[in-house]
Amino acid sequence: MPIFNTQYSFPNQSFFYRGKVRDVYGIGDDLLVMVASDRISAFDCVLPEPIPLKGQILSETASFFLNATQHLVPNWLISQPHPNVTIGHKAEAFKVEMVVRGYLAGHAARLYLQGIRTICGVHLPEGLKENDALPQPIITPTTKAAEGHDEDISREEIIAQGIVSESDYLILEKYSLQLFAYCTDYAKSRGLILVDTKYEFGKSSSGEIMVIDEIHTPDSSRYFYLEGYEERQANGEAQKQLSKEFVRQWLIDHDFMGKEGQSIPEMPQDFIELVTHRYQELFETITGKQFVPALQDHLLQDIEQSILNFLKTEA
């Protein structure tokens, strides 16, 4: 049974927040419990149909990379007591998302094809085709909206508006590029190209800047298959990819891009099953591990009990 919402009440719970995909429970002053639902969002809208097993796949993929990169960049992860649950340190989130792009794809490609050559203060050269590699990775930040659409913003605007101090922003840039370089090399070893991704950061009560939320998942990242990339690009063919972009493209083909007055189309069951399959394929390709679904019979109860068990050990 797919998880659309959770409604738990934990000892010493200090707040609850429902994001687009995750249900977030604050425990006391220091802990965050994130439950990954099977909701899926696109164009900053939560779609009405959940994707079975998506939450587990996202949670396990994110934990895989948080563990793999903790020697490079501090992150919030403490424990994953259940495949759908991540528990970590609470941090004050910076109100920007750091989007790193190594290729002209997705949102950036759509702007470029409209004739726009400067994105988030970063100038792009003439003569690029969609899905071409950029001369070097670039950062195109967005605002982190509590509701509605995130908006493109430049480094200079972020600092001038006091959204992030210059000293902190330099650390966000450094960490973002370090993580992107690591996963670029790692993805290549798995036969994939990391096209673009986003990172979110926060500052702990002690002042440490750390990665929060997910990294390098199909929701936050775009991957192409390395094999055949050059040939497809030379022939002007669509790239074979693993990411959420194919869901966005399906929505675009059904006249939805999250704009005012547009209605979200209903995804047919066979397409929902395809989405689950693609998410599972990415997990297995990028991690090299076989995906093992969590027991589904009492899933919500199992999730709750795993969190309670963890909290007892921390008491």
Q: In the beta sheet, which residues pair with residue 286?
A: none
Q: Domain limits of the chain? A: 13-92+271-314, 98-244
Q: What is the four-CA torsion angle of 214, 217, 221, 226, rounded to 10 degrees? A: 150
221: left (phi over 0), alpha (psi -120 to 50) or beta: beta
What does the pLDDT read at residue 186? Answer: 97
Entry pTM: 0.92
List, in order, residues 6 or more apart from 51 with CB less than 8 Å away.
Answer: 2, 38, 39, 40, 272, 275, 276, 279
Q: What is the mean pLDDT of the chain?
A: 94
Reported CATH class of domain 98-244: alpha beta
C-alpha span between 96 and 164 (Å, rounded)? 8
Second-level CATH architecture of 13-92+271-314: 2-Layer Sandwich (3.30)
Q: What are phi and psi of 166, to 5 degrees?
A: -60, -40
Run of H or E residues at 305: helix 299-314
pLDDT in tens, 45-94: 999 999 999 999 999 999 999 999 999 999 999 999 999 999 999 999 99
What does the pLDDT read at residue 216? Answer: 95
pLDDT confidence band for 244 (50 / 70 / 90)? confident
